[in-house]
């Protein structure tokens, strides 16, 4: 069964909030654990949905995870510059990890950014220990932007958020690109094309 990415329904906010909170807690991403003030923000999907686009990954009616997509200029942006969208609070349920939900959510955010008029890039913040997420970002073309790293709690030097960014290149309107030359694939009897 395929994973479907769509906007979260109000009836899913509680479930998604708990998935997000538990992902951050279980992965040790909250400085103060159960007492961390950010836990309330992670659970408050309705607040996020009022200010940004909250997307969910669903398979067979079950919510696997979610992400917050902040369009350019959105009030939930932490590090986005003018013209940039931002990805926030990517989380996948422990039982659904490794099945493609996280990558599908990030791809959906990139697609939204590409479709937005005037959006020149997309940015996100992550913690050093979130290596599985880093692999997703890098696979999709994001690059580290260490000059944009930041501390959400200035008094806590141990919490440094790493920044990744993806520059978006919008293709000019026109006919589809054609390969520079093509050759016949003699092993399969089909034709293939290559371009340089």
What integer pLDDT is reported at residue 184 of this predicted model? 34
Q: What average pLDDT values come out for the chain (196 residues) when binned by 10 residues?
A: 95 98 91 87 97 98 98 94 97 95 97 96 94 94 96 83 91 43 34 35
What integer pLDDT is reported at residue 78 of this predicted model? 95
SS3 53: strand
- Cα separation of 155 and 133, whole Å? 26
What integer pLDDT is reported at residue 56 of this predicted model? 98
Q: How many residues does the chain have?
A: 196
What integer pLDDT is reported at residue 179 of this predicted model? 38
- Cα separation of 155 and 68, whole Å? 26
What integer pLDDT is reported at residue 154 of this predicted model? 81
């Amino acid at each position: 069964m395929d994973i479907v990415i769509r906007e979260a329904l109000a009836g899913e906010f509680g479930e998604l909030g708990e998935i997000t909170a538990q992902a951050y807690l279980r992965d040790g991403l909250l400085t103060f654990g159960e007492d961390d003030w950010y836990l309330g923000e992670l659970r408050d999907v309705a607040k996020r949905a009022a200010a940004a686009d909250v997307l969910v990954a669903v398979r067979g009616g079950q919510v696997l995870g979610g992400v917050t997509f902040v369009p350019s200029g959105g009030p939930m942006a932490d590090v986005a510059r003018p013209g940039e969208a931002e990805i926030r609070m990517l989380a996948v349920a422990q039982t659904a990890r490794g099945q493609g939900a996280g990558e599908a959510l990030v791809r959906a955010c990139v697609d939204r950014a590409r479709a937005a008029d005037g959006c020149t890039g997309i940015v996100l913040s992550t913690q050093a220990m979130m290596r599985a997420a880093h692999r997703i970002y890098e696979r999709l073309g994001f690059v580290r932007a260490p000059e944009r790293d930041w501390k959400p709690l200035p008094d806590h030097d141990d919490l440094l958020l790493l920044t990744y960014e993806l520059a978006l290149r919008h293709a000019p309107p026109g006919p589809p690109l054609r390969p520079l030359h093509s050759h016949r694939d003699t092993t399969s009897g089909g034709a293939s094309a290559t371009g340089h």
